[in-house]
Amino acid sequence: MIRHEAVRKDCKLLFLCGTQKLLEHEANDIAVDEQLHAPMCAERQRMPIDADVVEGREAGGVLGEHASDQANGDPHGSGPPEGGRHVLVPLKPDATCPVRLKPDATTYNDRQMKTATERAETFTTISGRPIERLYTADDLAGIDYARDINDPGRFPYTRGIHSTGYRGKLWTMRQFAGFGTPEDTNARYKALLKAGSTGLSVAFDLPTLMGRDPDHALSLGETGKCGVNVTSLADMETLFDGIRLGDITTSMTINSPAAMIFAMYLVVAEKQGADWQTLSGTIQNDILKEFIAQKEYIFPPRPSMRIITDIFAFCSTHVPRWNTISVSGYHIREAGSTALQELAFTLRDGLEYVQWGVDAGLDIDDFVPRISFFFNAHCDFFEEIAKYRAARTIWAHAMRERFGARDERSWKLRFHSQTAGVSLTAQQPYNNVVRTALQALSAVLGGTNSLHTNSLDEALALPTAEAATLALRTQQIIAHESGVASVADPLGGSYFVERLTKDMEDGALAYFDQIDRMGGMVEAIERGFPQREIAEASYRFQQAVERKEKIIVGVNDFVQEDESPIEILYIDESAADTQLAKLEALKKTRNADRVSRSIDALRNAARTPENLMPRILDAVRAYATVGEMCDALRDVWGEYEEVPII
């Protein structure tokens, strides 16, 4: 029998039995329950929780493999056995030590929880999902470890696509940057690379995103303001001057004019002597989320999808290592969706792209391995981790079972993440450093493949060089000082995380069923379904903030009236003046006849099933502008006007 004992106030006791149910007690003079511990085997030891002395895999059920029966060390903490240190290894359940997966009311709830008061009547995630007080092994009923979770690197990749996690290679630290002229942004890129950035990510201004040149009337006041202005191949050459594209990966956040910008990048790489067969990077190229959330579309959905499948086909032959699309949930979340909606609509967009590629006659295993994803890293720590884990599971099953993909590369979901811009506050902006660090940590614990961390001043302006460097240092500290990169999926087996992951998966599949019944994602967008769902979720969250059911520090609570302004980056009109002058000079020096012929050929090809990429490359080499190429397609397809959503 284990006798009753008093426990010091500052001590936490860990009791291990069977599948390693953890009961933590923090109180003054807690009596140890003799009945609970009587069946424990003699060698099951009791000792203070200490990260330096507790080792061993979780045992049983979905949580891990059974460990061998052994426990070493002095039960009273007088010191480790000779030649070693304390080690606790969970034991197999047996007849003398029954498994206690969930405490019953008489031994736990009645004593510890029945009379406890809580801060609120209900607890929810930031998305409004109810959170229980306690999660136990009972919450994982029906989940089979090998079938539903499995080890890192094994189907369905819930715990990650690499068996070694980050022990083999850290995530790519890719800072999103772009402002003013190509010369301005080129200097920022070189500074980021010098500071240790391991990849580049291009932010374009609104005229470029909308396929308009700086001399268009709607470009007035926007050139170079929210990103870098790129009008022609000449600007792309300047943007990457002194940066060898064959030696680095670049991500470009561009959608409607994605084919034109990508063609410019390819020609610059070609001029530098890089081999397209080994060139690596990502083009966002995700037009469905533009219709759903960001609204930077040009052409109607169906011809827009045609351009995307043209890029799939072209790259599978000519640029096989390029990620042809980054299916983006980031902007869906920024528009106000819940984490579940971000997951569901993003993955369903991905399935839509796969279906259109298959329908265009492409072999699924030729183009799907180069599809990547882009998720938001928001504030609710555990919900975000569960979202990433569920995404890998859903995609793996969909590719193998829905589409019959045979190459395991097609089953593995790879994703970039970016901390939540919408969570940044203009009030008390230094709080954003903490928000960004927690969001970045959730992305890392969720297994992100690359990461951008937002800067503290981005609620006010584009980031200063100092703020951008601090954001990069945040990633580097997580990678090299926190220890989280030493273990693959360190939160795997958590009752709470595994339950959240399964609920995310089930919720996303329910959305899939709704969208499938509508005929697919294009049809759902045309009916306004995802747009309406996001609008309603955004409204509900705003109501919760205004009622103070959700606290935003510095905004609706802990407000500070006497804030000092911080230095911000200001982009004046000189960038527009510079780009206008360069455009005028370009039109005087290029071969106008060659430009005209290439634009006519592109316009005519748009009326046929011909792959448009070779025609776009011809126009780019002639120094046709983004606006000229997009206008040629506008002549054939027109511009999209959204159906109002009320």
For every residue of 56-113, DSSP letters joined together read ----SGGG-PPPPS-EES-TTSS-PPTTS--EE-PPPPBTTB----S--IIIIIIIII
How many residues are there in the chain?
Answer: 646
How confident is the model over 78-101, as a mean pLDDT?
38
**What percent of the chain is modeled with pLDDT above 70?**
82
How confident is the model over 276-289, as a mean pLDDT?
96
Q: What is the pLDDT of residues 305-317, one digit of tens each?
A: 999 999 999 999 9
User: Residue 574 in contact with residue 222, Cβ under 8 Å?
Assistant: no
The alpha carbon of 311 is separated from its chain's Cα centroid by a whole number of angstroms, namely: 23
Q: What is the pLDDT of residue 197?
A: 87
> DSSP state, 130?
B
Alpha-carbon distance 502 to 498, whole Å?
Answer: 6
Please name the helix (run of DSSP H) or strand (run of DSSP E) that holds residue 272, with its range, or none. helix 258-272
Q: What is the pLDDT of residue 287?
A: 97
Q: What is the pLDDT of residue 174?
A: 87
Q: Give me the residues paired with residue 238 across strands.
A: none
Q: What is the pLDDT of residue 129?
A: 92
Q: What is the pLDDT of residues 601-625, one digit of tens each?
A: 999 999 999 999 999 999 999 999 9
Name the pLDDT band for 115 (thresholds 50, 70, 90).
low
Query: Which residues have a Cβ under 8 Å from the Cβ of 268 and sit 6 or more positions away?
Result: 233, 236, 237, 240, 245
Q: Where are the beta strands (DSSP E) in 423-575?
A: 450-452
Alpha-carbon distance 547 to 549, whole Å?
Answer: 5
- Residue reference for tokens 């070189």: 190
pLDDT for 204 beyond 50? yes
Alpha-carbon distance 615 to 633, whole Å?
Answer: 12
pLDDT for 251 beyond 90? yes
Among 27-36, 123-132, 423-432, 539-548, the minimum mean pLDDT is found in 27-36
> DSSP state, 514?
H
Q: What is the pLDDT of residues 374-408, one digit of tens each?
A: 999 999 999 999 999 999 999 999 999 999 999 99
User: Residue 387 in contact with residue 446, Cβ under 8 Å?
Assistant: yes
Joined tokens for residue 401:
């079972």
Query: Which residues have a Cβ under 8 Å from the Cβ of 266 and sit 6 or more positions away?
Result: 276, 279, 319, 617
**Residue type at 454?**
N
For 412: left if phi > 0, alpha if psi spans -120 to 50, otherwise beta; the answer is: beta
pLDDT for 194 beyond 90? yes
- Residue reference for tokens 């049809």: 523
CB count within 10 Å of CB 381 equals 18
User: Residue 340 in contact with residue 384, Cβ under 8 Å?
Assistant: no
Name the pLDDT band for 40 (thresholds 50, 70, 90).
very low
Name the pLDDT band for 646 (thresholds 50, 70, 90).
low
For 361: left if phi > 0, alpha if psi spans -120 to 50, otherwise beta; the answer is: left
The closest alpha carbon to 304, from 327, 319, 285, belongs to 285
The closest alpha carbon to 439, from 126, 187, 158, belongs to 126
pLDDT for 136 beyond 50? yes
Q: What strands lie across the sheet with 371-377, from one edge to the other?
A: 322-323, 281-283, 250-253, 199-203, 172-177, 450-452, 415-419, 371-377, 325-328
Q: What is the pLDDT of residue 117?
A: 87
How confident is the model over 588-600, as a mean pLDDT?
98
Q: Phi and psi dihedrals of 61, rounded to 5?
A: 50, -140
Q: What is the pLDDT of residue 502?
A: 97
The model scores a pTM over 0.85? no
User: Residue 502 in contact with residue 228, Cβ under 8 Å?
Assistant: no
Question: Degrees (nearest 5) of the Cα angle 72, 75, 80?
Answer: 50
**Residue type at 218?**
L
pLDDT for 182 beyond 60? yes
Joined tokens for residue 418:
């970016």
Alpha-carbon distance 282 to 286, whole Å?
Answer: 11
Alpha-carbon distance 632 to 618, whole Å?
Answer: 14
Name the pLDDT band for 111 (thresholds 50, 70, 90).
low
Q: Where are the beta strands (DSSP E) in 167-233?
A: 172-177, 199-203
Q: What is the pLDDT of residue 73?
A: 35
The closest alpha carbon to 464, from 548, 571, 608, 357, belongs to 571
Task: Find out whether the peptide bond into 301 is cis, omega within 30 degrees of 0.
Answer: no
Alpha-carbon distance 253 to 330, whole Å?
Answer: 11
**Residue type at 452?**
H
Q: What is the pLDDT of residues 530-565, one digit of tens each?
A: 999 999 999 999 999 999 999 999 999 999 988 899
Domains of the chain: which residue ranges?
Answer: 1-117, 145-546
How confident is the model over 180-203, as a mean pLDDT?
93
How confident is the model over 244-269, as a mean pLDDT?
96
Alpha-carbon distance 83 to 72, whole Å?
Answer: 11
Query: Strand 250-253 to strand 281-283: parallel, antiparallel, or no bridges (unpaired)?
Result: parallel
Name the pLDDT band for 112 (thresholds 50, 70, 90).
low
Query: Which residues have a Cβ under 8 Å from the Cβ of 137 and sit 6 or more positions away?
Result: 19, 21, 61, 63, 101, 102, 495
Alpha-carbon distance 309 to 123, whole Å?
Answer: 44
Q: What is the mean pLDDT of the chain?
A: 86
Q: What is the pLDDT of residue 264?
A: 98
Name the pLDDT band for 644 (thresholds 50, 70, 90).
confident
Q: Which fold has domain 145-546?
A: TIM Barrel (3.20.20)
- Bigger pLDDT: 433 or 85? 433
Q: What is the pLDDT of residue 208?
A: 98
Q: What is the pLDDT of residues 452-493, one digit of tens each?
A: 999 999 999 989 999 999 999 999 999 999 999 999 999 999
pLDDT for 19 beyond 80? no
